Structure 1
Amino acid sequence: MEALFNEWLWQEEYWLPPGIRWRDIEVNEDEGRFPLPRDLIYTLPLAFAFIALRYVFERLIAVPLSKQLGVKDRIRIRAAPIPKLETFYKQYRRQPSPSEVATLGKQCGLSQRKIQSWFRHRRNQDRPSNTKKFREASWRFVFYLVAFTAGLASLINTPWFWDQRECWRGYPKQPVSEAHHWYYILEMGFYLSLLLSVSVDVKRKDFNEQVIHHIATLFLIGFSYCANYVRVGTLVMLVHDSSDFLLESAKMFHYAGWTKTCDSLFVIFSLIFLVTRLVVLPSRVIYSTLVVSLDFFKPFFGYYFFNALLLVLQALHIFWAYLILRMVYKFVFLGKVERDERSDEDSEVDDKEEEEEPEEEGDECSWEQRKGTINSKLASLANNCVLNNLTNQRNINSRLPKAR
């Protein structure tokens, strides 16, 4: 069965250009390392090693750093322990419909307002704290910064860094250096760790896009390594790492309340993201894989598959660029970045309602308090309207003699 699987999976027409056989790309040990599929086995234990290292890093470094920078967590009102509501919350949905609220109110002997208040407090109780978000951002910041620095150092002296035609000269018989081999293995192990831990990380509004991005990235790294698209693959990874560490650093300062520093980093990140993801990547890298590569070999399955994955990533970049431009618009016209467009899934309205909502003894008492407040505001508004009308009338009467 193993032989049958290998014969089906490693067919030459999938991985190599027409007319080239596996024996044609074999290299001697003195010529360098040639990428082999079995090398990717190391990425799975490496992913678990990244998860363990992240656990240690977040508790020994990220948490003390968050305290030093002044990260503060919001004190939230905990929902009272009501078993029926807790069961509904965990098994069905976090925000019940009006009919479900009425049914739950009858079952628990509570008013509909108290049921809604309980679910609001319970949702806020599950929202991630600023410290948790700071820990995640700081871990990604460290990796992306180290990966970008190491990747740039290993690529800046290579010919294909400056001329993308060199990515295909001599393809597919292109030996890979040890630095680029480990650059690939570490990047794939890290993204695999992100995919494995996505269920426990802060869930943001673009959760589905993030999962698609991680899966497409893993397929892209794995396939490009097996098909020896390593040269162009290193450029793709470097372009991604060039702006990611700036975004994570901006998030860190946002959670710490350093508004000016956060806004400055966000502006720098936006410029680099838009230039690298919407200009450099499509015009240099994707153009090279789509067009320039055809000068060196005829299209084959690997050509179409690799470019399809690149185009999926580019579509995600356009989506995120739209979110970034929305935030830039708010920054320019409102004077600040109000919040992350990719913020966690629960809306911030819950927090505001929780702050404004007093703890009531009963619905009737609460209604009387609210009615009194509304009446006082209406009376004040009416008085202001009357005073404005009288003032306007007086001004008009004063102008009448002149008009006559």
Structure 2
Amino acid sequence: MEGLLNQWLWQPEYWLPPGITWKDMRMDEEMEKGSRYPLPRDLLLTLPLALCFIALRYVFERVIALPLSRRLGVRDRVRVRVAFIPKLEALYLKKRKQQPSQSDILGLEKRCSLTRRQIETWFRHRRNQDKPSSTKKFCEASWRFVFYLTAFSAGIASLIDTPWFWDLRECWQGYPKQTVAEAHYWYYILELGFYWSLLLCVSVDVKRKDFKEQIIHHIATIFLIGFSYCANYVRVGTLVMLVHDSSDFLLESAKMFNYSGWRKTCDVLFVMFAVVFLVTRLVVFPSRIVYTTLVDSLDFFKPCFGYYFLNTLLLVLQALHIFWAWLILRMVYKFVFLGKVERDERSDEESEIEEEKEEEECSWEQKKGTLNSKLASLANNCVLNNLTHQRRHMSYRMANTR
């Protein structure tokens, strides 16, 4: 297997500039203590690390995030529990998010002895049962908030004293024979392990409207981190990760307070996130990082397959940034002209119209029940008043007769 990988995958002309081989990337005696050359086998550590992240997340959400959600006042919406009807359940499991067709409803009316209205109501309530609760969404957001905040703080601390943090042309000085400090090695490994864990948990996490874009983002990020480590684009790679982490923890904190009902705090954090996101993803990232990988790097080495592959992945990320910026600007428009953020444009994949209908239906039923009870009470009072009035009138007439 190692021979096949060396023959087909790890060809130096794929990953390294012309004239450079993997032998040139080996350890030597002149290296600083605590530094290393990146090797592809180092990335094998990220897979068991991803499993450790999943286990740590499980413990964190139940031990820390769940009690915190209760203290912050997170309240789950009470959903109507439907009766178990085997034939309806079988069709629901088959279609899931899709509405039952007209022919399906006609067939169910005959087989289940239910009206069309009852069947549609059952499916609506059944879908609502599977929708994630606010507590679940809060726990997920708090886990990502803790990681992104920790990663951003660690990234700033490890990069603030590096020359390429201030001058991006330093990313290419001496490339590819650049040593990797121990702090940057772990920064890379932990980030890659975390994104592996996000990709592995994507099927059980809350699905959002940009679910497909999130999958593309995770895959592109994993490829970008792994490839940039193998080809020793570590310096520019650390800057890419730092730019992304700078706004992500603000978004997750805004979500946490949104689920908790702290609207003003959520709005303030959202504005901060929007400003940081638009500046870092639409200004800093393309004008500084993408520019240095496309243009500045050519002053230090000749382009190879790795050069084109790296820039392709960066441009894919930039396309996703533009898509999310459009969603954020829609939210900014609502915030400016409506006075608040009504809901996250990347909100959960829920049929909010159906929920509104359900709430209207439930409120109408409640109002109708209250009205009926009031009418019944009024009718009873009227009857009692009439009986009392008639009794008094009879007593008065009897007294006069006597």
Instruction: Give, as a single letter, the amino acid of the residue that structure 2 aligns with 1:185.
Output: I
State the 1:358 CA deviation.
4.5
In the TM superposition, 1:304-319 aligns within 5 A as 304-319=308-323
Partners of 2:96 and 2:127 within 8 A in 1: no
Partners of 2:252 and 2:224 lie apart in 1 by: 23
State the 1:27 CA deviation.
3.2
Q: Mean alpha-carbon deviation: is it higher for 141-150 or for 97-106?
A: 97-106
Residue 296 of structure 1 pairs with residue 278 of structure 2: no
Residue 252 of structure 1 pairs with residue 263 of structure 2: no
Partners of 1:16 and 1:294 lie apart in 2 by: 13
State the 1:25 CA deviation.
3.0
Q: For 1:357, what is the secondary structure of its paired residue?
A: helix
User: Structure 1 residues 342, 29: closer, same or farther in 2, change over 3 A?
Assistant: farther
State the 1:29 CA deviation.
5.2
Q: Gaps spanning 5+ residues in structure 1: where? A: 360-365, 374-404
- For residues 272-298 of structure 1, give each alpha carbon's deviation from its aligned partner in whole angstroms, at most 9, with x where no partner exists: 000000000000000000110000011
Aligned partner of 1:391 in structure 2 is: none
Aligned partner of 1:132 in structure 2 is: 136
In the TM superposition, 1:281-360 aligns within 5 A as 281-358=285-362
Equivalent position to 2:246, from 239, 242, 247: 242
Instruction: Give, as a single letter, the amino acid of the residue that structure 2 aligns with 1:172.
Output: P
Partners of 1:209 and 1:316 within 8 A in 2: yes
Aligned partner of 2:46 in structure 1 is: 43
* TM-score in terms of structure 2 length: 0.88
Q: Mean alpha-carbon deviation: is it higher for 96-105 or for 311-320?
A: 96-105
Q: Aligned-residue CA RMSD in angstroms?
A: 1.7
Partners of 1:60 and 1:358 lie apart in 2 by: 35
Partners of 2:321 and 2:266 lie apart in 1 by: 22
Equivalent position to 2:150, from 146, 153, 167: 146
- For residues 78-115 of structure 1, give each alpha carbon's deviation from its aligned partner in whole angstroms, at most 9, with x where no partner exists: 11111111111112343212332222222211111111
Partners of 2:228 and 2:310 within 8 A in 1: yes
State the 1:307 CA deviation.
0.5
Residue 77 of structure 1 pairs with residue 84 of structure 2: no
Aligned partner of 1:362 in structure 2 is: none
Q: Mean alpha-carbon deviation: is it higher for 137-146 or for 28-37?
A: 28-37
Partners of 1:27 and 1:175 within 8 A in 2: no
- For residues 113-161 of structure 1, give each alpha carbon's deviation from its aligned partner in whole angstroms, at most 9, with x where no partner exists: 1111001001111110000000000000000000000001000110000
Aligned partner of 2:27 in structure 1 is: 27
Equivalent position to 1:192, from 196, 217, 220: 196
Aligned partner of 1:395 in structure 2 is: none
Aligned partner of 1:114 in structure 2 is: 118
Partners of 1:184 and 1:160 lie apart in 2 by: 16
* TM-score in terms of structure 1 length: 0.88
State the 1:44 CA deviation.
0.4
Aligned partner of 2:91 in structure 1 is: 88
Aligned partner of 1:7 in structure 2 is: 7
Partners of 1:251 and 1:357 lie apart in 2 by: 28
- For residues 241-279 of structure 1, give each alpha carbon's deviation from its aligned partner in whole angstroms, at most 9, with x where no partner exists: 000000000000000000000000000000000000000
Partners of 2:268 and 2:162 lie apart in 1 by: 33
Q: Mark the structure with the bigger radius of gyration.
A: 2
State the 1:30 CA deviation.
5.2
Aligned partner of 2:69 in structure 1 is: 66
Partners of 1:26 and 1:173 within 8 A in 2: no
In the TM superposition, 1:197-276 aligns within 5 A as 197-276=201-280
Partners of 2:96 and 2:148 lie apart in 1 by: 36
Instruction: Give, as a single letter, the amino acid of the residue that structure 2 aligns with 1:54.
Output: R
